[in-house]
């Protein structure tokens, strides 16, 4: 990370004027730092053995090499795959035909805003595909190639795809502004499916995908290790609250199966959110279980192709059936919820066992018809309902040391329309809540620039550039309201927003929403909490460990 | 460069009827054959394209949402019914606003970078120019097209007369100046100007983006010329157009050459339409991100090519692989056999 420019320098380097050469003539920069590392061959071989025909040849290669070791018939594979998908997805067919290049989407992408690279304008990103569509599949494009912006599939084109379709976090912000709702995120998904067919991929996606398939979670944590970690968290919760919580794992016969992203099992600050869930469920005496087999909410398959997305997602229903759970409660996760909300029932409804029911809160009795088909409820819906019915005893002053803002994660915000529930929860568990400026929140929210498998350090500069819009909005509330904490409901956010905040708004910490719930939750009458979930002493209790009293407190 | 090519090409198109009409039998060619052929191309191409779209599947319902979805408690968390519709009716209204008011374009913003006091500032401000230009152009074009119905229908429907009256309300000059004529020319010029002067938009523009604009401009100007300067014989024209719709072709001598230029350009536009981005007109109705309700968690939808053979990694295999450490960690097993290490089994 040492060669990354300082924030001010980086900012000054942004130029929104396009180069003098036309976009088809402008060469692509393949220097290191511009791409994620390709997948290790063994990961590809493993996935090829599970879902044959989708992955291309397993091999060692680097994008900076001249020779990408593509299969000899790569062009045929890509063009045929393209043709096939035009029939399978009306969106693809339509979006290839109707873009008018009005440019309304151009400055909506965080990568363009932070880089000024015209190929990061969503319209041009999709043109990388559309130009090939016109050149290969339309009469007009074949005759009048240059004038209609057409070209045929060439190795250079494919290489350009690799760079720019892995510089899109599939956040869908552009789609909101397009007069026809052209969803460049979906185009990116298609382009990635095609690239996977000829073995162009990244390890940061393929390794989690294969891990999820084997162990159930993207980090490859084996079941006994998973249990160790959870036990560890149970100890920590006891340290903070004095209460030893239950953390049932793989147990049959419970009403609810709880699934959350495995990132929260592994890393700061996600573990505090996970501890928040455990504490809340114990407080409610909820009849639930966790699973090591279905221990991943996040669906890395959605970054490869829809077959893999389906395969990984299917575990949730399979596990609900095995354990006999009636419905599934889902934790704070972005792309998990995109997949659950938009794809799960369509892809895997036949795997729901007959005993599954529409989620009904056992505490309040509320029936959540909104998830009647998937049988899967979002944790902020569940908690908001508890708060509304007064089922939680909350002391928001325990979060008084935090001045909180909320980052709408792209997937719940634009993929579902889940905006107000997390805000309601936050406002009930903390006293100092502030919104970031209009145009950067809710459906217009800006991406953390690390979603869709781009959360890796080798492309840190790209991430920091893409993080400019979010970081700058954060900086604004930091200065104006003294905000020192940004809450979110996505595990990828909890990982990616940390370097982003350090760079653009140093001093702001990142937290999950249920970490703050756990801080505020009063377990029993008169409970005094001296530390927060991070085991940091709350104001007023800092000196607990030594018996020195400040002089001015002596007569108090 | 792309703009120049397009402009030159449109000039060429103007020249063709100018020279062509002089030869006597060419009048029938330009007055009847060309427009009829162009109309057939338009119709077939249009239908073909829409059928192509319709034949490709909508496997997943993934509408773009712009606001709060329908929550479990609509009072506490009111749904944004227009931008995050859940029912057919709500979706219908979303589409109506999209089609008639260009609603998504209305929320357009422009980004700008500033050097703040001690740190950079990224600012967003509302930017409605494109919306304004587009809506001026599209409504003018639409109303003009409606006005032209008077040439193809007998008796003339009341709304066409009413439209003409309102459109000509300003009563400038004789013949009356129509507002929509001004709107169309202005709209096209503004859209064109934006494409030429905004460096980013210029960068993404092909000849196929300029060509329709120049063509539309030529259509509008030729129409205006014909009406206000050449003052063509409208009665004779109606004779011709009614002949076209009743398949009873006549080409009256009284019609001046400017009419043929106008008709030829319109014919070019019609024939070009189905093969170009102008198909955004029917496309906007079919866009799945906008015309579907956001109800995928509440209702079952079918993906016609869903592959039921794709199954999750089986739990049984998982337990076989990790059974021993699972047993040691005290995790329950479906099959206790799996918890026994191979060496113990022997
Ligand atoms: S806003 Fe839509 S139509 Fe306009 S350039 Fe972008 S993708 Fe194309
Ligand atoms: S989906 Fe997001 S990252 Fe991708 S082009 Fe659109 S705005 Fe940019």
pLDDT in tens, A63-115: 999 999 999 999 999 999 999 999 999 999 999 999 999 999 999 999 999 99
Residue A142, SS3 per DSSP: helix
pLDDT in tens, A5-34: 999 999 999 999 999 999 999 999 999 999
What is the interface pTM, i.e. ipTM, of the complex?
Answer: 0.93
Q: Do B105 and A104 touch (CB under 8 A)?
A: yes
* pLDDT for B254 beyond 90: no
Ligand 2 atom closest to the CA of A111, numbered from 1: 8
For ligand 1, the distance from its centroid to the CA atom of residue B221, given in whole angstroms, is 28
Q: For residue A25, which residues of chain B lie inside 8 Å, CB to CB?
A: none
Strand partners, A510: A486
Ligand 1 test: best mutation among A96, A121, A178, most atoms within 8 Å of CB? A178
Question: Phi first, then psi: what are they for B112, rounded to 5°?
Answer: -145, 150
pLDDT of residue B207: 93
Q: Which of residues 81-110 of B touch A (CB under 8 A)?
A: 83-84, 98, 102, 104-105, 107-110
Average pLDDT over residues A269-281: 97
pLDDT in tens, A30-76: 999 999 999 999 999 999 999 999 999 999 999 999 999 999 999 99
The pairs formed by A251-254 with CB atoms below 8 angstroms and a separation of 24 or more are A251/A289, A251/A323, A251/B332, A252/A289, A252/A322, A252/A323, A252/A324, A252/B332, A253/A323, A253/A324, A254/A287, A254/A288, A254/A289, A254/A323, A254/A324, A254/A325
pLDDT grade for B116, boundaries at 50, 70 and 90: confident
Average pLDDT over residues A108-127: 97
Nearest to A180 by CA among B278, B137, B105: B105
Nearest to A247 by CA among A296, A294, A280, A214: A280
Average pLDDT over residues A128-154: 91
In whole numbers, what is the pLDDT of chain A averaged over residues? Answer: 94
Q: Do B310 and A373 touch (CB under 8 A)?
A: no
- Do the Cβ atoms of A377 and A515 come closer than 8 Å? no
- The set of protein residues with a Cβ atom below 6 angstroms from ligand 2 is A 108-109, 111, 122, 125, 168-174, 184-185, 188
Ligand 1 test: best mutation among A94, A97, A103, A182, most atoms within 8 Å of CB? A182
The minimal CB distance from A18 to the residues B200, B206, B300 is found for B200
pLDDT of residue A553: 53
Q: Do B287 and A292 touch (CB under 8 A)?
A: no
Q: Would the CA dihedral through B98, B101, B102, B104 be positive or negative?
A: negative
pLDDT grade for A193, boundaries at 50, 70 and 90: very high
The minimal CB distance from B303 to the residues A106, A118, A346 is found for A346
Cis bond before residue B197 (omega within 30° of 0): no
The answer to whether residue A531 neighbours chain B at the CB level (below 8 Å) is no
- CA-nearest residue for atom 3, ligand 2, is A168
**Nearest bound ligand to the CA of residue A178:** 1
Other C-beta atoms closer than 10 Å to the C-beta of A140 total: 16
pLDDT grade for A542, boundaries at 50, 70 and 90: confident
Q: Do A98 and B318 touch (CB under 8 A)?
A: no
Considering the entire predicted model, what is its pTM? Answer: 0.94
């Amino acid at each position: 990370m040492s060669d990354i420019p300082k924030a001010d320098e980086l900012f000054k380097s942004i130029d929104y004027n396009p180069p003098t050469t036309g976009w088809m003539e402008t060469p692509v920069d393949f220097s290191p730092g511009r791409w994620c590392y390709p997948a290790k061959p063994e990961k590809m071989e493993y996935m090829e053995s599970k879902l044959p025909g989708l992955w291309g040849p397993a091999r060692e290669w680097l994008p900076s090499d001249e020779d990408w070791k593509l299969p000899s018939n790569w062009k045929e594979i890509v063009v045929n795959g393209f043709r096939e998908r035009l029939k399978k997805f009306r969106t693809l067919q339509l979006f290839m035909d109707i873009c008018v290049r009005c440019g309304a989407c151009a400055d909506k992408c965080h990568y363009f805003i932070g880089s000024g690279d015209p190929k990061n304008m969503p319209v041009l990103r999709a043109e990388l595909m559309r130009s090939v569509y016109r050149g290969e599949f339309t009469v007009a494009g074949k005759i009048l190639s240059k004038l209609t912006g057409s070209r045929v599939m060439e190795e250079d084109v494919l290489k350009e795809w690799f760079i720019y379709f892995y510089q899109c976090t599939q956040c869908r912000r552009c789609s909101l502004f397009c007069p026809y709702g052209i969803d460049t995120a979906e185009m990116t998904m298609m382009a990635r499916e095609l690239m996977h067919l000829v073995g162009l991929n990244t390890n940061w996606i393929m390794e989690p995908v294969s891990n999820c398939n084997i162990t159930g979670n993207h980090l490859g944590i084996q079941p006994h290790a998973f249990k160790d970690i959870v036990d560890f968290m149970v100890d920590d919760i006891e340290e903070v609250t004095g209460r030893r919580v239950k953390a049932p794992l793989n147990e049959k016969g419970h009403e609810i199966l709880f699934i959350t992203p495995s990132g929260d099992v592994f890393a700061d600050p996600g573990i505090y959110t996970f501890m928040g869930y455990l504490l809340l469920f114990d407080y409610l005496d909820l009849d639930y279980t966790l699973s090591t087999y279905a221990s991943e909410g996040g669906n890395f398959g959605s970054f490869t192709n829809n077959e893999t997305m389906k395969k990984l997602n299917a575990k949730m229903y399979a596990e609900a059936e095995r354990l006999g759970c009636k419905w599934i409660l889902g934790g704070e996760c972005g792309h998990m919820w995109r997949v659950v909300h938009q794809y799960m029932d369509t892809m895997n409804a036949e795997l729901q066992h007959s005993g599954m029911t529409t989620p009904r809160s056992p505490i309040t009795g509320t029936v959540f018809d909104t998830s009647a088909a998937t049988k899967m409820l979002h944790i902020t819906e569940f908690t908001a309902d508890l708060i509304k019915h007064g089922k939680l005893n909350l002391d928001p002053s325990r979060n008084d040391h935090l001045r909180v803002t909320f980052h709408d994660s792209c997937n719940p915000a634009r993929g579902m329309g889940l905006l107000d529930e997390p805000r309601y929860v936050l406002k009930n568990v903390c006293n100092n809540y502030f919104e970031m400026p209009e145009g950067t929140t809710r459906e217009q929210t800006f991406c953390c620039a690390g979603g869709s498998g781009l959360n890796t350090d080798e492309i840190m500069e790209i991430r920091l550039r893409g993080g400019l819009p979010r970081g700058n909005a954060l900086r604004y509330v930091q200065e104006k309201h003294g905000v020192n904490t940004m809450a979110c409901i996505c595990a990828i956010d909890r990982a990616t927003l940390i370097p982003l905040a350090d760079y653009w708004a140093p001093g702001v910490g990142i937290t999950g929403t249920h970490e703050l719930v756990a801080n505020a939750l009063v377990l029993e009458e008169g409970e005094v909490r001296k530390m927060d979930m991070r085991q940091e002493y709350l104001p007023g209790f800092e000196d607990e460990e030594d018996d020195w009293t400040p002089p001015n407190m002596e007569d108090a | 460069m792309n703009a120049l090519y397009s402009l030159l090409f449109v000039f060429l198109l103007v020249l063709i009827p100018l020279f062509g009409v002089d030869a006597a039998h060419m009048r029938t060619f330009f007055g009847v054959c060309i427009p009829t052929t162009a109309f057939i191309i338009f119709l077939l191409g249009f239908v073909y394209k829409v059928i192509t779209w319709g034949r490709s599947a909508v496997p997943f319902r993934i509408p773009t949402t712009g606001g709060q979805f329908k929550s479990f408690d609509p009072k506490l968390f009111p749904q944004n019914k227009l931008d995050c519709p859940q029912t057919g009716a709500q979706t219908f209204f979303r589409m109506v606003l999209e089609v008639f008011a260009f609603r998504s374009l209305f929320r357009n913003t422009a980004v700008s970078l500033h050097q703040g006091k001690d740190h950079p500032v990224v600012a967003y401000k509302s930017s409605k120019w494109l919306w304004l230009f587009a809506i001026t152009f599209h409504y003018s074009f639409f109303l003009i097209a409606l006005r032209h119905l008077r040439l193809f229908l007998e008796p003339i429907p009341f709304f066409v007369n009413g439209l003409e009256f309102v459109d000509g309300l300003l009563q400038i000059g004789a013949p009356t100046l129509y507002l929509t004529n001004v709107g169309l020319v202005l709209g096209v010029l503004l859209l064109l100007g934006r494409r030429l002067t905004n460096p980013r938009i210029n960068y993404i523009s092909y000849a196929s983006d300029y060509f329709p604009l120049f063509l539309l401009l030529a259509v509008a100007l030729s129409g205006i010329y014909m009406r206000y300067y050449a003052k063509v014989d409208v009665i004779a024209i109606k004779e011709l157009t009614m002949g076209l719709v009743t398949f009873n072709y006549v080409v009256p001598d009284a019609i001046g050459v400017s009419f043929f230029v106008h008709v030829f350009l319109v014919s070019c536009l019609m024939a070009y339409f189905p093969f170009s981005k102008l198909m955004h007109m029917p496309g906007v109705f079919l866009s799945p991100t906008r015309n579907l309700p956001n109800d995928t968690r509440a209702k079952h939808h079918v993906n016609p090519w869903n592959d039921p053979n794709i199954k999750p990694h089986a739990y049984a295999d998982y337990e076989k692989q990790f059974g021993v450490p699972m047993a040691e960690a005290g995790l329950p097993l479906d099959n206790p056999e799996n918890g026994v290490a191979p060496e113990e089994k022997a």
